[in-house]
Amino acid sequence: MSSPAFSFTTVGQIHVEWGGAARLGDLLGGWFSARNILLVTDRGLHKAGVLEPAKASLAAAGFAVTVFDAVVADPPEQVLLECVAQGREAGAGIVIGLGGGSSMDVAKLAAVMLVSEQPLAELYGIGRVEGPRLPLVQVPTTAGTGSEVTNITILTRPDHSKMGVVAEQLYADRVLLDAELTIGLPPLHTAATGIDAMVHAIEAYTSKHRKNPLSDAAAREALRLLSSNLVAACRHGADRNAREAMLIGAMLAGQAFANAPVAAVHALAYPLGGRYHIPHGLSNALMLQPVLEFNMKAAAPLYAELADPVGAEVSREADVETKAKAFVQRLITLMNESGAPRRLRDSGVAEEMLPQLAADAMLQTRLLGNNPVDVTESDALALYRAAF
């Protein structure tokens, strides 16, 4: 049997080292010749001292570091423009994103805009970025978004709509995975971002488009690592093995969905972010179970294949339906044990808003088109009701 042609794209190098942020200067010195760094992060990490080992190491290696720490969740366009202005003033020659998905997203486009004449409005869409960017390094501090290995930046426009830039140039040159940086992540954040990473792997594995043997391999290994370490990372935040496994698992899930895109869980999660500012990870965690059950009619054979990677208790000889159900049950158990909120009503969502959320979700046509089962507006409403 011949398989269809496919491409798989990821970043050039991924360096994994516990405590590696404290050696960032040495690592960078071998990678790039520029000396002026723009470090893109958020104020919470800056105040908590999370940047200090990296900053000290960069200074010792002779780099001049300008910190831009005004990144916020769901970053507005204005934040990116301020970041670019600060980088330009500092004469930045290297951009480092150090933080969660929002910081890394802003770093990607800052690296482009610091050397580009294209206005931001022209960059939105797929493949619109022209020309090169500055050297770009990503250092995640959560095991969740996978943004360090994706080529997408999502920004919030002045009218509160979300717009995405998708371009080859947004893949970083280098990624540093230092799980020590994730030690301080509180249990609820660890749970929500970890479940979001599992959603990335599941939705990539069942995606209608561009699913391929490499994205499948990444998704399976992501699920193996994430499912066997999520609860330990939530309960024992300083568990080094669990934190390292989660960070690598989230990165693998990012590689999977950068190549085989996510679907209905994300489509239904975005309106929760837009209307209620529920964080990305939590909104996906809230919608996972209803969508898994809804997709069962088409995705059961693929779910059955994932039963083993997630450690579902089911015989290897069991039939597809039994294995698929065991897969879903295992995820429900994991979510319950993680301590993440499970109901929309517990996250501030009002029941009378559900029809509005369903209407909003219908606008996510790009994501809904990847779902194994078609989702109508009444389906979306039923899914929100199931999650309520």
- Residues of this chain that interact with Zn ion (CB under 5 A) are 196
d(CA 148, CA 15): 12
Judged by beta carbon, residue 57 or residue 338, the one nearer Zn ion is 338
From the CB of 177, what's the least distance to Zn ion, in Å?
18
From the CB of 145, what's the least distance to Zn ion, in Å?
6
Judged by beta carbon, residue 92 or residue 246, the one nearer Zn ion is 246
From the CB of 280, what's the least distance to Zn ion, in Å?
6
From the CB of 337, what's the least distance to Zn ion, in Å?
21
Judged by beta carbon, residue 169 or residue 283, the one nearer Zn ion is 283
Judged by beta carbon, residue 113 or residue 204, the one nearer Zn ion is 204
d(CA 253, CA 203): 10
- Classify burial at 250, counting beta carbons within 10 Å of its beta carbon; exposed 0-12, middle 13-18, buried 19 or more: buried
CB atoms closer than 10 angstroms to residue 188: 16
d(CA 260, CA 209): 6
Judged by beta carbon, residue 84 or residue 154, the one nearer Zn ion is 154
Determine contact, residues 79/154, Cβ cutoff 8 Å: no
Tokens 């693998």 correspond to 252
Judged by beta carbon, residue 37 or residue 285, the one nearer Zn ion is 285
Question: Which DSSP letter does residue 148 get?
Answer: G
d(CA 116, CA 355): 42
From the CB of 167, what's the least distance to Zn ion, in Å?
19
Report the residue closest to Zn ion, judged by CB.
196
From the CB of 376, what's the least distance to Zn ion, in Å?
23
d(CA 144, CA 248): 10
Determine contact, residues 41/51, Cβ cutoff 8 Å: yes
Which amino acid, 348?
A: G
